[in-house]
Chain A
Amino acid sequence: MIFKIAFRNIFRNTRRSLTTMLTIAIGTAATLVFGAYTVYVTYGLQTGTVDRVGHLTVYRRGYFDFGSGNPAIWGIPHYNDVLRLIATDPVLKPLIAVATPVQYVAGIASNSDTGESRTFIGTGFIPSDRDRMKRWDEYDVGGRTEPDTGLRDDDTSRGVVGAGMARVLGLCGQLHLGNCPTLPRGAPSDTAAASDVAGLPKQDFSDLVSRDAPAAKRAAVLPRIDLVAATAGGAPNVVDLQIARVDPQGVRELDDIYVGMHIDLAQQLVYGRGEHRATGIVIQLHRTEDIPRARARLAQLYKMHGLDLETRDFAEITPFYTQALNLFRSIFSFISIIIGIVVIFTVSNAMGMSVVERTDEIGTTRALGVRRSGIRQQFLVEGILLGAMGATAGVVIAFVVSFAINAVGLTWTPPAQAQPVPLKLYMFGAWDLVGWTWALLIVLAAAAALLPANRAARLQIVDALRHV
């Protein structure tokens, strides 16, 4: 009977109830749509990050905190053995999609044709592994966040540069890079101080270059740059890199200094003819949720084999990921709180008016023998029903909006990424979000009804019966 009375009372004042339900519905839909967008951004950011840096990276202990300034001395010795140990481990093997070594290097890049040079930060990788990593799409974000490297495992002479690096080194024309400004006439220029590398006697390094990269002679049509870095022993070393294409980086600071190359070339630059090591072993898992399990097993392996290594996950390696996520989460929380407050006030107001209008009815039912708790329950149930109907309508609206937006095929470029991706709302599948939002709105409606319900329960029967 309590539900019957509640349900009928909701539709006794149809306009007020519909307005209240519509407010709840719009609040629910807004929360869900932005929540679905946040889920999508989370998955999109994660996919874009994991595509580049994998889920986990194995470093020599201490590198992550102290070694980035001099990767040469923090290399993992016998890294192929470590890689084999990880890739063949019976626990890790089924979890791993890609396990591949990387070599970081920093130095000066110069274009001898233009005389331009600048510092660079380079990553050496195995091209096929890198391309496989870029195909990871656990959450079906759709649309590749990054294209393939365009490099081959059997050609160590080629590499890629960020669009900013190409611009600074004057490679835009040769690389057919669109939207690339040229140096304005009359711009400050000091060729004498432009680059130490440009000033160095070229014949000293050309021999080195020719020895280090014999394949370069076979692809003379590609633009070339020289990369200079200090070896592990402290001596300067230089290699010649043919730029196969531009690989834009989402962050300008990185885009201006990025150079990607075959790991052999990076190792050549850092270790020369010495023992080739790797800065890290990047591990990409099939599923992100396996990170704790994989990390624990790696720790076991280090201990069992006496390896002085440590593991870092992508969130640690890429603080931007966590920062961007926290930003979206805080915006989502802020919007949710605002919507929650609106819902509370709307429901409370509607229920308060209902109590006033039904004061005589409250007196009658109390006289008939309904306890105070029964009156409280009656109004609480009405608040809950209002909340449930509004929230349910909101869920339906949110699904319709999501379906429409997903069907339109909008694209956007996520933070720190260079390639546009489809704009999607992850409503289908985000059942936790839907369930929790729906339940939370109902709880809020119930909480909002509590105050009027208590007021109704506290009414004196004779006063209520006298109410006009």
Chain B
Amino acid sequence: MPGASTGRQGGPRDEPVVRLDRVTKTYRIGAIDVRAVRGISLAIAPQRFTMLIGPSGSGKTTLLNLIGCIDAPTTGTVRIAGQDVAELSDNALSDFRARHVGFIFQSFSLIPVLTAYENVEYPLLLTGVPAQKRRAITLEMLEAVGLKDQRRQKPNELSGGQKQRVAIARALVKRPDIVLADEPTANLDSETGASVVALMRRMQTESHTTFIFASHDPHLISHADDTFTIRDGGIVAGEAAP
């Protein structure tokens, strides 16, 4: 398997939660075909803090999108939690994402008209969690990220760090199999970024969820269990996290 594991936290090597087999992704920009991902095969073990690292334009985000089932490969297969996602219809894929995948975006991407509480509650509504249970889980998650007192505030009333905490809570509240985070600290200052990384690490440890990051933030990379270095749409074998 291309890539290398630092094995720093030494989780059990179970059946991979993510498995990509000779995946390619080609975009057509005007008359030119751009190959963003070139025949990547990889397996990501569950309950690990996995990092996709590489320079801008290397294909990290595209790979993350493919793993997150929000984009489809041109060729190859993507299996998430044992499910070949190509076999799923658009609705089934939406339901699959709602249950199994959490997202943390670089620009937070909170729903601006909803409060912090409602943003965190939103994924539970999509999976039909009963109201009472939904409320308990949401409050618990907000407390875990230290935002219980800010639960009635809307995103524009929160700082960047607080927004990212809400985004983390939103991604984790449904206890997904994997959480995908694309440059989660890119829009934060270093101090806030460090606190957010620490929070994600703590949440991952507590929830035993698989975290997969696309980043080139050295501080974030230093927390990785496994790293895959991407360059020119392919995985550079044998690289380890710093």
Q: Which of B106-135 contact A (CB under 8 A)?
A: 107, 109, 111-114, 118, 122-123, 125-127
Query: Does B122 contact A368, Cβ atoms closer than 8 Å?
Result: yes
Query: Does B111 contact A365, Cβ atoms closer than 8 Å?
Result: yes
CA gap between A368 and B127 in the complex, in Å: 10
* Contact partner, B113, options A9, A360, A363, A374, Cβ 8 Å: A9
Give B141-165 as 1s and 0s: 1 = Cβ < 8 Å from A's Cβ atoms.
Answer: 0000000000000000000000000
Give B66-79 as 1s and 0s: 1 = Cβ < 8 Å from A's Cβ atoms.
Answer: 00101100000000
* Contact partner, A361, options B94, B111, B126, B127, Cβ 8 Å: B111
Query: Does B97 contact A369, Cβ atoms closer than 8 Å?
Result: yes
Contacts of B170 in A (CB 8 A): 368
* Contact partner, A368, options B91, B103, B112, Cβ 8 Å: B103
Within the complex, what minimum Cβ distance (angstroms) separates B123 from chain A? 6
CA gap between A406 and B232 in the complex, in Å: 78
Given A462-B70, A462-B71: A366 in contact with B94 (beta carbons within 8 A):
yes
Q: Does B26 contact A (CB under 8 A)?
A: no
Within the complex, what minimum Cβ distance (angstroms) separates B62 from chain A? 8
Which residue in chain A gives the minimum CB-CB distance to B123? A368
Query: Does B112 contact A12, Cβ atoms closer than 8 Å?
Result: yes
Query: Does A1 contact B125, Cβ atoms closer than 8 Å?
Result: yes
Query: Does B103 contact A5, Cβ atoms closer than 8 Å?
Result: no
Q: Does B99 contact A (CB under 8 A)?
A: yes
* Contact partner, A461, options B71, B114, B122, B125, Cβ 8 Å: B71
CA gap between A4 and B112 in the complex, in Å: 12
CA gap between A433 and B55 in the complex, in Å: 66
Q: Which of B183-204 contact A (CB under 8 A)?
A: none
Query: Does B111 contact A12, Cβ atoms closer than 8 Å?
Result: no
CA gap between A148 and B90 in the complex, in Å: 77
Which residue in chain A gives the minimum CB-CB distance to B97? A369
Number of interface residues of B (CB under 8 A): 28
CA gap between A4 and B68 in the complex, in Å: 28
Within the complex, what minimum Cβ distance (angstroms) separates A115 from chain B? 88
Within the complex, what minimum Cβ distance (angstroms) separates B46 from chain A? 20
Query: Does A5 contact B113, Cβ atoms closer than 8 Å?
Result: yes
Query: Does B122 contact A366, Cβ atoms closer than 8 Å?
Result: no
Number of interface residues of A (CB under 8 A): 23
Give A355-390 as 1s and 0s: 1 = Cβ < 8 Å from B's Cβ atoms.
Answer: 000001101111111111110000000000000000
- Give the residue among A1, A9, A363, A465 with the most B Cβ atoms within 10 A: A465
Query: Does B109 contact A370, Cβ atoms closer than 8 Å?
Result: no
Within the complex, what minimum Cβ distance (angstroms) separates A367 from chain B? 5
Query: Does A368 contact B97, Cβ atoms closer than 8 Å?
Result: yes
Q: Does A293 contact B (CB under 8 A)?
A: no
Q: Does A84 contact B (CB under 8 A)?
A: no
Query: Does B98 contact A369, Cβ atoms closer than 8 Å?
Result: yes
Q: Does B95 contact A (CB under 8 A)?
A: yes
Contacts of B97 in A (CB 8 A): 367-369
Query: Does B90 contact A372, Cβ atoms closer than 8 Å?
Result: yes
Query: Does A462 contact B65, Cβ atoms closer than 8 Å?
Result: yes
Give B40-65 as 1s and 0s: 1 = Cβ < 8 Å from A's Cβ atoms.
Answer: 00000000000000000000000001
Within the complex, what minimum Cβ distance (angstroms) separates A360 from chain B? 6
Contacts of A371 in B (CB 8 A): 90-91, 94-95
Contacts of B109 in A (CB 8 A): 360-361, 363-364, 465
Interface residues of A (CB under 8 A from B): 1, 4-5, 8-9, 12, 360-361, 363-374, 461-462, 465
Interface residues of B (CB under 8 A from A): 65, 68, 70-71, 90-91, 94-99, 101, 103, 105, 107, 109, 111-114, 118, 122-123, 125-127, 170
The 4 closest A-B pairs by CB, nearest first: A369-B98, A8-B113, A364-B109, A461-B70
| A to B CB contacts below 8 Å, 25 in the list | A4-B114, A8-B114, A9-B113, A12-B113, A364-B105, A364-B109, A364-B111, A365-B122, A366-B70, A366-B94, A367-B70, A367-B97, A367-B103, A368-B103, A368-B123, A369-B96, A369-B97, A369-B126, A369-B127, A371-B90, A372-B94, A373-B91, A461-B71, A462-B71, A465-B105
* Seed contacts A369-B97, A462-B65; 7 additional CB < 8 Å A-B pairs: A1-B118, A4-B118, A361-B112, A364-B111, A369-B94, A371-B90, A462-B70
